[in-house]
Amino acid sequence: MNTAGTELTDSRVIRAVQLVWHEADLLDHKRYEPWQDLYSEDAYYVVPIDPETEDFPNTLNMVYDDARMRQMRVARMTEGYAIAAVDSARTVRTVSRFVVENVTDDEVTLRSAQVLVAYKRGRHDLWAGEVTHRIRLSDDGDRIALKVVRLVDSEDAVPAAGFLL
Amino acid sequence: MTVEFTADTVHGLAPSDLVREDRVAGRMYTDPQLFELEMTRIYERTWVWVAHESELPKAGSFKSTYVGRQPVIVVKDRKGTVNTLLNRCRHRGASLCEQRTGHANGFTCPYHAWSYGLDGKLRGIPYPDGYEGVLEKSELSLRKLRTESYGGMVFATFADGIEPLADFLGDVKLWIDRFMKQGGGYPVKVLGTHQFRFHGNWKIQLENTTDGYHFPIVHRSWMASVDAETADMMSFMTDPAAITHDLGNGHSVMQMVPEHSDLDVDDGTEPLQARFATLVTELKSAGLDDAAVRKLVRAVHGTGFNLNLFPNVSMSNSFLRVLRPISANETLIEHIAVGPEGPAEIVDPVNRERLRIHEHFQGPFGFGTPDDAEGWDRVQRGAQAAPEMPVLVNRGLARESAGPEGWPTSHVTDETGMRAAYNQWKQMMSDG
């Protein structure tokens, strides 16, 4: 059921927005292990370069993580060997301007704007992007089935990051 | 005469005195005036890499990029010639093209619509009556840089009088040929480009691609995440067969996995990595025989070496690393993924593996690049202290010797390649 114009007060949408905000909070506080648990086993977490593509497997991306890569990435961010992660920027992000793309009793797809400020050693970097979340609703806990972050400058040079979008 | 760097003398020393056999002055990373000199004496006087031929597949294909700090358009014209044109209208100086890549019939300035052909010739001027008697169109072509290529690698230079590219490359040509064998029987094409910035001098990156010594330290996180076979393949620290050669003109090659330096040499004993089992099945079902499958799969990790070309490109295992100096304190890096070009049912599965391997290490969110960038940022920050204090490039100096080909050679963890690059820097910066 396509529900363009669905009210943000729809209880299914509220559940999805809450999950997106919870995710943003976990990432800003670098709580990567609980962050990982927000994703379903078959989920993909993608930061593409090509602003148009939906064909992520056949394209070069900044991030294209299945469960195995996510698990390795979380290990990298937390185990203390990666000097970029050990001394990473502090981040604060706002996720808003939600647009409901699709709602069913099982799944909600949300589009949003994310503005993230990363601070490290006297410098503030701005990371702005459009985010899509596909969220699977379940009595066992809602899970992210797909997250795609399309940076406004994805085709340009960005800083090398020690945190996650 | 050897001049010591001291706090009293270092700011007054000529650039050539800042490089010694075993050390360079820290000022070379931090001095904006030296950076200005480098842009003219190096980047406008030598061959600078601008494109791979696969980025320009047909007439009208273009790529906008830079030679040093100067914006250029690299474009294939209707005769099949690749031209490197200064991205600057001859009228009032506006940039002609702000698209990174694409296809065009020509370039029209957005300001007053002066239009140029793919060969840079001025074709049209709107309302030409005001120019009668004051303008000759044939004298107002876009500035064209000398452009030559070898093995698909396209270079351009502002210097009309320097040696041909083939002479500048010299023994590098053999290694370019070897790099391109990773097509596994197919030509090599560009698959995609990662770009990132770091807050440090371009020479820090130039050094890094020939720095075997940092690998297990900075990339411990990546090593911990890959399969045992891949980690073993990159365990070259104590392998005496892993060696670096100074190839002359500032170029060097670092052989980390020497058994993969020439992918045509294969005695058949090396097992294909278990991680590629699915790929092997896909390729067999696409109709390839065992030998053809083996050739492609063995090349998925690329070649076993980093070929570091002075001043701006490296052919590094399985990708191209391109650096662009922005200022003394800032550098932009491209990591260009490459793979075989051929029938989709054969190359697509191969290139999906290659893209995933590239994403795993490279780019702003890779498991390798951010740690490299952190290291380089730290070099730039530290080098602000005591600009007279030397940066050491002496590792392996006492065990370096001429190999059978005549190339100065030492262990892969040694700083032979950095010394090669700094010798070239010294020579180019000495020429007024």
List CB contacts of A73: < 8 A, sequence separation 6 or more: A32, A65, A164, B367
> Class assignment of domain B48-157?
mainly beta
Q: Is the pLDDT of residue A2 over 70?
A: no
| Chain B: closest CA distance from residue A48 (Å) | 10
Q: Is A85 on the interface with B (CB under 8 A)?
A: yes
Which among A62, A76, A83 has CB closest to B225? A76
What is the fold of A11-151?
Answer: Nuclear Transport Factor 2; Chain: A, (3.10.450)
Q: Is A160 on the interface with B (CB under 8 A)?
A: yes
Q: Is there a contact between B122 and B90 (Cβ–Cβ < 8 Å)?
A: yes
pLDDT category at A109 given cuts 50, 70, 90 is very high
Kindly report the backbone phi and psi dihedral angles of residue B396, in degrees, each rounded to the nearest multiple of 5, phi listed first.
85, 5
Q: Is there a contact between A165 and A154 (Cβ–Cβ < 8 Å)?
A: no
Kindly report the backbone phi and psi dihedral angles of residue B111, in degrees, each rounded to the nearest multiple of 5, phi listed first.
-85, -60
Pick the CATH number of B171-430 from 3.40.50.10190, 3.90.380.10, 1.20.140.10, 1.20.1250.20: 3.90.380.10
CA geometry: angle B248, B253, B255, nearest 5 deg = 150
How would you label B312-337 residue by residue, b for 16+ Cβ within 10 Å and e otherwise? Answer: bbbbbbbbbbbbbbbebbebbbbbbb
Name residue, tokens 């290990």. Answer: A75
Q: Is the pLDDT of residue A4 over 60?
A: no
Give contacts of B192 with chain A, Cβ < 8 Å.
Answer: 49-50, 59-60
| Chain A: closest CA distance from residue B269 (Å) | 30
Which among B351, B365, B374 has CB closest to A62? B365
Give me chain A's average pLDDT, please: 95
Q: Is A47 on the interface with B (CB under 8 A)?
A: yes
CB contact (8 A) between residue A160 and residue B374: yes
Give me the half-sphere count of Cα atoms (radius 13 Å) on the Cβ side of residue A25: 8
On the question of a common fold for B48-157 and B171-430, the answer reads no
Q: Is there a contact between A13 and A5 (Cβ–Cβ < 8 Å)?
A: no
Domain ranges across chain B: 48-157, 171-430
CB contact (8 A) between residue B370 and residue A162: yes
Best of B208, B221, B346, B377 to mutate (most A CBs within 10 Å, chain A): B221
Q: Is B214 on the interface with A (CB under 8 A)?
A: no
What pLDDT score does B108 carry?
98
What pLDDT score does A23 carry?
98
Looking at chain A, list the stretches that DSSP marks H as alpha helix, in order from N- to C-terminal side.
11-28, 32-36, 67-78, 83-86
pLDDT category at A6 given cuts 50, 70, 90 is low
Name residue, tokens 């053999």. Answer: B174
Query: One-letter amino acid identity for B178?
Result: R
Burial bucket for residue A50 (CB in 10 Å: 0-12, 13-18, 19+): middle
- DSSP β-bridge partners for residue B190: B338
Name residue, tokens 């992007």. Answer: A129
Best of B63, B191, B275, B365 to mutate (most A CBs within 10 Å, chain A): B365
How many angstroms separate the CA atoms of A12 and A16, rounded?
Answer: 7
Extract the residue ranges of chain B whose pLDDT is less than 50.
Answer: none
Q: Is A19 on the interface with B (CB under 8 A)?
A: no
What pLDDT score does B230 carry?
84
CB contact (8 A) between residue A159 and residue B371: no
Q: Is the pLDDT of residue A118 over 70?
A: yes
Give me chain B's average pLDDT, please: 95
Give which of B50, B18, B101 is closest to B311, Cα–Cα: B50
How is the beta sheet containing B122-124 ordered, strand by strand? Answer: B107-108, B115-116, B122-124
Q: Is the pLDDT of residue A5 over 90?
A: no
pTM: 0.96
Query: One-letter amino acid identity for B44?
Result: E
What pLDDT score does B223 carry?
87
Domain ranges across chain A: 11-151
